[in-house]
Structure 1
Amino acid sequence: MDTYKFKFLFIALFVIFGTTVAAQTKNNNPESINTKDSYFSMDINYISDAIFMGRKDSIESPYLYPSLMYHHKSGFYTKASFSYLTKKNESRIDVFLISAGYDFNIGNFYGDISATKYFFNEDSYNVISEVIADFTTNFLYDFTIVDLSLSASAYFNTSDNSDLFLSSEISHDFITNNYKFQISPTIGVYFGSQNFYQEYFVNNRFTRGSGSGGSGHGNGSGMNNISETIITTVEVQESEQFSFMALEFGVPMWYRQNSFTFSFLPTLVLPQNESNLLVDSTLVKENLETSFYWVLGIAYNF
């Protein structure tokens, strides 16, 4: 499997959990892997908290995330996975995912097109727990000095409303002479609408009542007093607006040894454009805070 293909996979694994950097790497060592062969890939990853577009629940959501992928030599692939919520007193399988896609490269240009179906546990308090499917495209061009990538996604929610997300990342790769270790400092900007956030508040944050799964929790942004009352209506006023949602600084790194790949991704997230919530005719201003999360993983290809 090419290095850039692994990086595409690495990014796809965590799109449900956080707006991770979406820069991809090129194949710096063409002799290291036979890209003409089909292969299977198994991996298991741990993420310290679920953050999406700078948004998250007030209760941390650490996940253990195993997956299995089959990649055909033509570029088509399919993947199945689930996430296990490891938080004390909340332990459960929180979501199943099934994905299919196609990746390719033409010279220094790389691309990946995929679709994913989500099956969330009814008690999930993940901020995208009302998302049912997405369609995502990732493109990258290697300018030698830097890699510049662009991603576009359509997310479909349980309601009739959907969301469009655009992101752009710039990164630079530092690779050892034996091509076994790579580190790629990355800066990313993320734009999108917030219908997913509206559905999360309506169906999860306030309206199910406290003490059920993750629902009913305060959001850690000055709304704890509201969560203690009975809520009948919630509206995110900016849900339909397309706006700047997050700025991220990540330092993804990989170490490869034969068929194994070990990865680590620390990320600092700076959320932008706090929402105004209309809660039972009361206007409440969010107070989003800077967040940090990390991902640790191991993959095996055969």
Structure 2
Amino acid sequence: MRKSYLPVMLLIMSFFSFQGLTAQENDENATTANSHWQAGINYLSNDVYLGRKDSMNLPYITPAIGYYHKSGLFVSGSLSYSSSAAQSQLDLFELVAGYTFTSNKLDGEISFSKDFYNSKSYGVKSETKGSLDGSLSYDFGFVKPTIETGISFNKRPDYSVAFGLEHSFYAADNKLEIAPSFLLNASTQNYYSSYYSKRKYALKRKKGNTTGGATITAYLPNAGEFKIMDYEFSIPVNYTAGDFTFNFTPTFAAPTNPAIVVLTVKPVAGNSYTKTFTEKISDVFYWSAGVSYNF
């Protein structure tokens, strides 16, 4: 488990090292940058995380508002409403605070988020309480590599690292940006084990996960192992018109390393039994679209 801390600590140390080296330039930029508010709304066709998703489609409508100071500090809040026909409810409230910087071709961000999920949420991350995340990217011109890493807070913490590549194309006087991207995600899966244990087979689900009143529980015996979770290909499209920005992002996720699940069935009458199986995973396509306004 100790090795899992290394990517996170290296990124945080690198972030503050770069931040110190570029402090003078950032101070100069701060004199010309404008502090502003940003409000927006986004639609997500399905809640997918690291190639994993619930058996029920979970589309989200998410209004958000944030304040971005010229120093790079920011704070934001969002509400995600599940618009599924089978489950319409306020699913998630999230608060985020962080710091961003840009120096020449180097971009960086560190942030802390606090998540409040509905007790009836069936999102695969619904047992997550929050996270500490950081990212660094450098634009070489022909390609922009990115490294992202984070710690998610669950009953047991999860550690994640992502490596990405992207290249931006501009048109319409730079108002239109198209940025084909590739992302490799690796992580532990304690969050996923908690989802299996408390959410996936919950008795209160509208679509029954029990047979004849039997209670089903499950967990992942290898949830603490750090593995590649999925490969993601996306094409973010952004168009800026004055203070408005319109975005559309189609994403194709190819999950890998399916989880081993230990499942226990407790019938109303008779003896309990346990079985172990490997979950079935498949490629998934989803998309998001939204608009934001700076003021």
For normalisation by structure 1, the TM-score amounts to: 0.81
Report the equivalent of 2:52.
55
Report the equivalent of 2:276.
283
Code of the aligned partner of 1:263? N
Structure 1 residues 121 and 146, CA gap change in structure 2 (3 angstroms): same
SS of the counterpart of 1:129?
A: coil
State which of 172, 176, 182 in structure 2 corresponds to 1:181: 176
Code of the aligned partner of 1:244? I
Structure 1 residue 228, shift from structure 2 partner: 3.4
Give the Cα separation in 2 of the matches to 1:193 and 1:213: 29
Structure 1 residue 178, shift from structure 2 partner: 0.4
Please show how residues 125-136 of structure 1 align to structure 2 within 5 Å.
125-136=122-133
Per-residue displacement from partner, 1:155-205 (whole Å, max 9, x unpaired)?
001x2x010010011011110150100101111100000000000011111
Give the Cα separation in 2 of the matches to 1:99 and 1:66: 14
Question: Which ranges of 4 or more aligned residues in structure 1 deviate by more than 6 Å?
Answer: none
Give the Cα separation in 2 of the matches to 1:287 and 1:95: 27
Aligned pair count reads 255
- Higher helix share goes to which structure? 2
Structure 1 residue 232, shift from structure 2 partner: 5.4
Please show how residues 263-302 of structure 1 align to structure 2 within 5 Å.
263-280=247-264, 281-302=274-295
The answer on whether the counterparts of 1:124 and 1:213 sit within 8 Å (CA) in structure 2 is no
Structure 1 residues 177 and 116, CA gap change in structure 2 (3 angstroms): same
Give the Cα separation in 2 of the matches to 1:52 and 1:256: 28
Per-residue displacement from partner, 1:223-274 (whole Å, max 9, x unpaired)?
xxxx537345422122010000000110001001000000000000000000
The answer on whether the counterparts of 2:107 and 2:136 sit within 8 Å (CA) in structure 1 is yes
Code of the aligned partner of 1:278? V
The answer on whether the counterparts of 1:42 and 1:67 sit within 8 Å (CA) in structure 2 is yes
The answer on whether the counterparts of 1:125 and 1:213 sit within 8 Å (CA) in structure 2 is no
SS of the counterpart of 1:203?
A: helix
- Identity score, percent: 31
SS of the counterpart of 1:199?
A: helix
Report the equivalent of 2:166.
171
Q: Higher Cα Rg: structure 1 or 2?
A: 2
Report the equivalent of 1:251.
235
For normalisation by structure 2, the TM-score amounts to: 0.83
The answer on whether the counterparts of 2:39 and 2:66 sit within 8 Å (CA) in structure 1 is yes
Unaligned runs of 5+ in 2: 1-30, 265-273
State which of 168, 178, 186 in structure 2 corresponds to 1:191: 186
Give the Cα separation in 1 of the matches to 2:37 and 2:239: 19
Unaligned runs of 5+ in 1: 1-33, 218-226
Code of the aligned partner of 2:94? L
